[in-house]
Structure 1
Amino acid sequence: MATRFSKYETAFRQKTLKQSIACSGVGLHSGKYVTMKLCPAPINHGIVFHRTDINDCNQLISARYDNVVDTKLCTVIANEDNICVGTIEHLMAAFAGCEINNALVEVDCTELAIMDGSSEPFVCMIDSAGIVEQDAPRQVIEIRKPITVDMDDKRVTLSPANCYAIDFEIDFASKAIGRTVWGIEMVNSTFRDEIAQARTFGLLEEVEYLQANGLARGGSLDNAIVVDGDKVLNHDGLRFKDEFVRHKVLDCVGDLYLAVAPLIGRVNAVKAGHQINNAALRALFADPSAYAIVDYAHSRVIE
């Protein structure tokens, strides 16, 4: 038991940023210049987005699974006044990987800056701002029984486990991507070392179609991996040989951090994307017998 305690003891308390930190960049879908700031927040605040460009209605949007209103190209959340913010999954993944429970995110656009297409710039921002523990226990969601959601050939299953682990399978016709199965247990620095650097990706024909229809206006080889047939067009190649599936895991981590607390359980995902990730959370919370919210220190991780 002592070994397990020393492995997880830093996760017992809620955490926030030590100080605010700002950045700017282009929005992937709008192509607009975006300014955003990550700010500390009090105990039990959660992750909340503040649309600083809005003046005549509610500017605040809580990062929750039941506030998700669109998952077609990215994850979009909105409040009761239909004020929305999108492309939040990479930042949410960084918050999850850095164990940030409470933060206020100021942003002056309908979407966050895409940065380099991964979570690494956000992790660097969080590290530069500093992380502080707060005087309140961190809660987690223990999955108590399996929940499975199917959509066509996609599937997500949430199962009981004594850790947070993700097994993911992708399958693309392009030989540059292909079929890959990859899994990881989310402990210690695994997110930082194995997931955070993985960039978003797309097929050239899809990117060209989206841009022809006024979408993906901010997309470029500087913030995404682009695949043309069986070739990766980025001159610097891939950061990992299996970077594609790792980025899908990154998206999954970000989407699932929209739960009311971090998950303790195993995620098995097949060809999953934003829509089914959100559907899995909705299915979980629709069944009160499928989960329990407990203090991390009393969770099955420490058993």
Structure 2
Amino acid sequence: MQTHQQTLARPVSCSGLGVHSGKTVNLTIQPAPINHGIQFSRTDLPGSPRISAHFNRVVDTSLATVIGADGCIVSTIEHLMATFAGLAIDNALVEIDSYEIPIMDGSAGPFTRLVRSGGTAAQKGPKCYFRVKEPITLEENEKSVTIYPAPVYKITCTIEFSHPLIQRQTYTLEVTPERFEKEISSARTFGFLHEVEYMKRYGLARGGSLDNAVVVSEDGVVNEGGLRFPDEFVRHKILDCLGDFSLLGLPILGHIVAHRSGHAFNHAFLKTFFHQKGSWETLTLDSACGIAPAREEGGLRSQPF
């Protein structure tokens, strides 16, 4: 695990379609100083207003994760946020000239390659973590998310669909940059053909195509190339979870177990997590310097939040 914060070594840029607007979006990721976190800047608006990537800025989760402040929104942030979390990037400024993050190929693969191309730069500031001390659970209507104490960050996700191609799938990821890049980053978002047709009928998913999503019909996968993994569906749900849970603002030492969860339920869990302050603590690792420990346990320095 890392003891110090990271940012990008240099700015990187890309362009792509907004999945709902169908318009071209230009995106640049800038390095940022310590304790900056991840912030988004709308360069198409007067003053280039900024929004912090934090769960208390989430304004909509119906089709994607959307953050907003003072009338300004940034939509579909989950794949880029998963990239930052998966590659352990703590500080960055994302500049975009539209309200949507480009969908790219429907996965975090293009963003992962983009961030990798910019390189990473270690920073002097110590890296803080949420350490889970006791389980926290949210359950409702056959959906559930529980986080358990663990010495590393892990996510186990289970999905269930009646479609014979998907059915029940479970995947566990210990979150490291290497495993994220190899096992999760290229898993694409997916949808059912009748849902795609419905959204297009009502003016949504204007930029959606077989180039940026796995589309499933009654007969199987519509995409000519098929699946990238036999269990690409659940791997993408892990990707979404990574992006959603990163909105806590700090990386986690704990094991998240999610069953049939989505953006809205993940967001509800983040609020539950934050309200149960007795079940977690914030800390830095022993080799981090410059912060006096509140108490020491098992080689970790605990800090007040």
Which TM class, normalised by the smaller chain length?
A: over 0.9
Residue in 2 that maps onto 1:47: 38
Is residue 2:46 matched to residue 1:60?
Answer: no
Which of 73, 76, 96 matches 1:87? 76
- Map residues 228-267 of structure 1 onto 2, 5 A cutoff: 228-267=217-256
> Do the aligned partners of residues 170 and 230 (structure 1) sit closer, same or farther apart at CA in structure 2, a change above 3 Å counting?
farther
For residue 297 of structure 1, report the CA deviation from its aligned partner. Answer: 3.9
Structure 2 vs 1, CA of residues 33 and 279 (structure 1 numbering), >3 Å: closer, same or farther?
same
Kindly provide the amino acid, as one letter, of the partner of residue 122 in structure 1: F
Name the aligned partner's letter for residue 68 of structure 1: V
Whether 1:73 aligns to 2:63 is yes
Tell me, yes or no, if the aligned pair for 1:174 and 1:230 is still in contact at 8 Å. no
Q: Report how far residue 149 of structure 1 moved.
A: 1.2
The answer to whether 1:119 aligns with 2:101 is no
Cα deviation digits, residues 219-263 of structure 1 (max 9, x gap):
100000000014001111111100000000000001001112001
- The answer for unaligned runs of 5 or more in structure 2 is 288-295, 301-305
Residue 189 of structure 1: SS of its match in structure 2? helix
Instruction: Work out the CA distance in 1 between the residues paired with 2:21 and 2:204.
Output: 7
Corresponding residue for residue 38 of structure 1 = 29
Question: C-alpha displacement at 1:49, in angstroms?
Answer: 0.1
SS in 2 for 1:257: helix
Maintained 8 Å contact 1:175/1:230:
no
Q: 1:258 to 1:300 in 2, by over 3 A?
A: farther
Match of 2:262 in 1: 273
2:120 match: 131
Which of structure 1's runs of 4+ aligned residues deviate more than 3 A? 296-303
Q: How many residues align?
A: 292
The separation in 2 between residues aligned to 1:26 and 1:301, in whole angstroms, is 47
Output the amino acid matched with 2:34: I
Give the Å deviation of 1:151. Answer: 2.9
* Matched residue type, 2:59: V
Q: Per-residue deviation at 1:115? A: 0.4
Q: Deviations over 1:87-119 (max 9, x none)?
A: 000000000111000000001111100001111
Alpha-carbon distance in 2 for matches of 1:18, 1:241: 35
Q: Per-residue deviation at 1:292?
A: 0.6
Give ranges in structure 1 of 5+ residues lacking alignment.
Answer: 1-7
3-state SS in 2 of match to 1:217: coil
1:195 and 1:151 mapped to 2: Cα distance? 27
**Counterpart AA for 2:85:** A
2: CA distance, partners of 1:209 / 1:22: 33
Q: CA deviation at 1:55?
A: 0.5
User: Residue 171 of structure 1 corresponds to which residue in structure 2?
Assistant: 160
Letter in 2 for 1:60: R
Tell me the TM-score normalized by structure 2: 0.93
| Kept in 1: contact 2:87–2:176 (CA 8 A) | no
Summarize deviations over 1:19-76 as a string: whole Å, max 9, x none: 11111010011111111100000010000000011106x7100000111110000000
Query: Per the alignment, in what secondary structure is the counterpart of residue 22 of structure 1?
Result: strand
Aligned to 1:5: none
The percent of aligned pairs where both chains have the same amino acid is 47
Aligned to 2:20: 29
Aligned to 1:4: none
Q: Partners of 1:175 and 1:35 in 2: how far apart?
A: 39
Task: Give the secondary structure class of the aligned counterpart of 1:135.
Answer: strand
Q: Distance in 2 between matches of 1:86 and 1:263?
A: 24
Structure-2 separation of matches of 1:268 and 1:294: 22
CA distance in 1, matches of 2:205, 2:92: 28
CA-based RMSD of the aligned residues comes to 1.5
Deviates more, 1:146-155 or 1:130-139: 146-155
Give 1:188 deviation, angstroms: 5.0
User: Does the CA-based 8 Å contact 1:162-1:301 persist in structure 2?
Assistant: no
Please give the per-residue CA displacement for 1:254-286, whole angstroms capped at 9, x wherever unaligned.
100111200110111011100111111110111
1:181-227: per-residue Cα shift (whole Å, max 9, x none)? 11121135110111001000000000000110111111100000000
